[in-house]
Structure 1
Amino acid sequence: PDAPDRPLATLTYAILSVPFGLVGLWLALMIGPNTVRNLLYGFFVDGSYATSWGGPTLAGAWTVHAALALLLVPVGLWLVRGLTALQRRLADALLGGRRLPVAAAAGSVAVLLGAGLFLTAWLHQV
């Protein structure tokens, strides 16, 4: 059945997809600007590098930040890909009338709970 014939399923999908969209947006905003900032670390940070990762020299701090940025980009993109796959399965189940696989349902709950915990920890750090 088409989505217009199932208003409750459409509303449910709309409500459930908001957290997925927010997590995806947050990941995209973390991947892009943080990668650029860490690759250009030496231009953004002034002062002592004694407490910086890779410090106490600018060269060491810049190297560590750039290396971590390059290593974390594929991880972030992989997370976005997985998030997209989960959202697609949710859409297929709710809007396409298919059954939601147990693994997809459990994965969705795990992603949303994990994102909430990570966001809470991140906000306390900032």
Structure 2
Amino acid sequence: MTETLTRPVAEVRKHRARRLGRWLVYDALLLPAGLLTMADAILDEPATAARRWCRLGAAATPKTNARTFGDGLLSAVLGLASLFVLFLTVLAVVRGPFWGLVEHGPVEPGTWGGPTRAGAWATHGLLALPCVVAFLFVLRGIAALQMLLVQGTRRWVLPATITVAAGTLAFFWAWLQQV
């Protein structure tokens, strides 16, 4: 609140956009960083993994090899989830407001917003906006959860991360069975 009272509005918006960009990059790098962390644990170099997490923005201290491997495994699963949510975000942006430019076929009677092309385009665009906002909040939550996991400062983070990771793996298993 005081942030918006003491800074100009343009500066606050620029700061928020920069933070959002950092979260998105952090989420995009979770999978490779998690895999490298597991490799560091196997090679008995937990200090290297801690330095990598510090470079990404999560203050971490060296841990045992088992804990480092577990953090890497959970981070890789969270990275897989974040890449999927990033994919859904891009898909919602492309297929939402730009639906008419992407979809060239005839508008069927069952199309959302049909039977006219303008109605379908407007409906897809309006439905995409809350989806993109929700996806960005999910990505921020994944990044925050993973940062707290690596820092290891709160007790509830490990069970919460294991629950999210198990749900992610169950979702991907069900999705792969469908494909």
TM-score bracket relative to the smaller structure: 0.7 to 0.9
TM-score, length-normalised on structure 2?
Answer: 0.57
Tell me which residue corresponds to 2:100.
42
Task: After superposing the two structures, state which structure 1 stretch, 20-29 or 30-39, moved more.
Answer: 30-39
What is the alpha-carbon distance in structure 1 between the residues aligned to residue 125 and residue 70 of structure 2? Answer: 42
Tell me which residue corresponds to 2:11.
none
Tell me which residue corresponds to 2:90.
32
Task: Check the 8 A contact 1:20/1:112 in 2, yes or no.
Answer: yes
Tell me which residue corresponds to 1:115.
168
Tell me which residue corresponds to 2:29.
none
Q: Which amino acid aligns with 1:42?
A: G
1:39 aligned counterpart, secondary structure: coil
* 1:4-56 residue CA offsets vs partner (Å, 9 max, x unmatched): x6222211211111100000111111101331222111122211331111111
Of 126, 133, 145, the match for 1:67: 126
Of 140, 151, 158, the match for 1:105: 158
| Deviation, structure 1 residue 122 | 8.8
Greater length-normalized contact order (CA 8 Å, ≥ 6 residues apart): 1
RMSD over aligned Cα atoms: 2.4
Task: Check the 8 A contact 1:49/1:61 in 2, yes or no.
Answer: no
What is the alpha-carbon distance in structure 2 between the residues aligned to residue 123 and residue 36 of structure 1? Answer: 26
* 1:57-114 residue CA offsets vs partner (Å, 9 max, x unmatched): 1111111100011111110000001111111111011xxxx4x422x23432342344
Runs (5+) with no aligned partner, structure 2: 1-59
Task: Check the 8 A contact 1:40/1:66 in 2, yes or no.
Answer: yes
Q: 1:76 to 1:117 in 2, by over 3 A?
A: same
- Between the two proteins, the alignment pairs up a number of residues equal to 118
Tell me which residue corresponds to 1:57.
116
Structure 1: 4+ residue segments shifted above 6 A? none
Tell me which residue corresponds to 1:21.
79
Task: Check the 8 A contact 2:77/2:169 in 1, yes or no.
Answer: no
Runs (5+) with no aligned partner, structure 1: none
Tell me which residue corresponds to 1:83.
142
